[in-house]
Structure 1
C-alpha cells in the first residue's frame, strides 16, 4: 500500500473526502454528501465522482449493507500524511530540510504532549547528529552550497 500512496496523486478535493472517511471510519455516501455539500458547496454528482476516484485508486473500499454502500479507508490518515510528506521531502535538498521543519513547527498547532515528544526525539537525534548537512543537489564533487 505504501508504494501505491507514493505513486498516487490525490487532489485537494479528494483529501476533503478522505478526511471525512477517516473521521467517521465507516460512512455512507449520503453522509459524505451531506458534509461536503454544506462545507464546500459541491454537488452530489461531484462528490460521488470524487468517491469513485478514491475507490479506483484503492484508497477507499466499498461494503454493501442492504441497499446502502458503506465506504472506509484502506490506509490510515497518519500513514497517508507520513508517506506524502516523506515523498515531498525526498525532492528537497538535505541541507535545507532542517530550516523547513523549524518553519513548519512555528506555524502548525501542536499540543504540549506533541512538543514534549518532539523535544525527546530531538535530544536523542542530537547525540549522533553531524555539525552540518551537506547539499545533495549535484552529483559532482564540486563544493556547492545551495
Structure 2
C-alpha cells in the first residue's frame, strides 16, 4: 500500500471510526480541527480512492466512502517505513532512542518488559 500522508490519514481515521459516510459528513467532522472545505476533503477522498485505501458505493447522486484497508494494516506499513528510514530496519534503536529522550513512561517500560518476556517464550 502506498504511504498515506498526514492529511489523508485524518480522513481515514474518520472513516475507520464510522463508515460508510458521504463527503459532506467527513468534511463536517474534520472542519472543527482542520478548517478544511468540502472541496479539500473531496480532493483527499479522491486521492485515497486512487491509492485503493478507500472504496465507495453510490447512493443516488452521492458517494458513500468506506475504508478498503484495515487500520492495523496501515499502521503496520507506516511503522515499518519509520523503522526502516530512521533506524535501519531495527526496532531496538527506536526503543533506545525513546528511552534516551525520556519518552517512555513507567507504564510503557512495564509493557515492553512484559512483551519481551512473552516473545522469549
Q: How high is the TM-score relative to the length of structure 2? A: 0.78
SS at match of 1:62: strand
> Offset of 1:68 from its aligned partner?
2.7
Q: How does 1:69-80 map to 2 (within 5 A)?
A: 69-80=63-74
Query: Which residue in 2 is equivalent to 1:106?
Result: 104
| Cα separation, 1, equivalents of 2:77 and 2:30 | 25
* Structure ranking higher in helix proportion: 2
SS in 2 for 1:106: coil
> Does 2:82 align with 1:88?
yes
Q: Which has the larger radius of gyration?
A: 1
User: Per-residue deviation at 1:106?
Assistant: 1.6
Gaps of 5+ in 1: 128-146
Q: Residue 50 of structure 1 is aligned with which of 34, 44, 48?
A: 44
Unaligned runs of 5+ in 2: none
Residue pair 2:15, 2:65 contacting (<8 A) in 1 also? yes
Mapped to 1, the partners of 2:75 and 2:50 lie a distance apart of 20
1:24-53 deviation line (CA, Å, top 9, x unaligned): 131111110111222211111111101111
Deviations 1:106-144 (A, max 9, x none): 26x97xxxx3xx5432103346xxxxxxxxxxxxxxxxx
* Aligned equivalents of 1:40, 1:34: Cα separation in 2: 10
Residues paired across the two proteins, number:
115
Runs of 4+ aligned structure 1 residues displaced above 3 Å come to 100-105
Q: Which of 124, 132, 135 is the aligned partner of 2:118?
A: 124
RMSD in angstroms over aligned alpha carbons?
A: 2.7
Q: How far, CA to CA, are the matches of 1:34 and 1:73 in structure 2?
A: 18
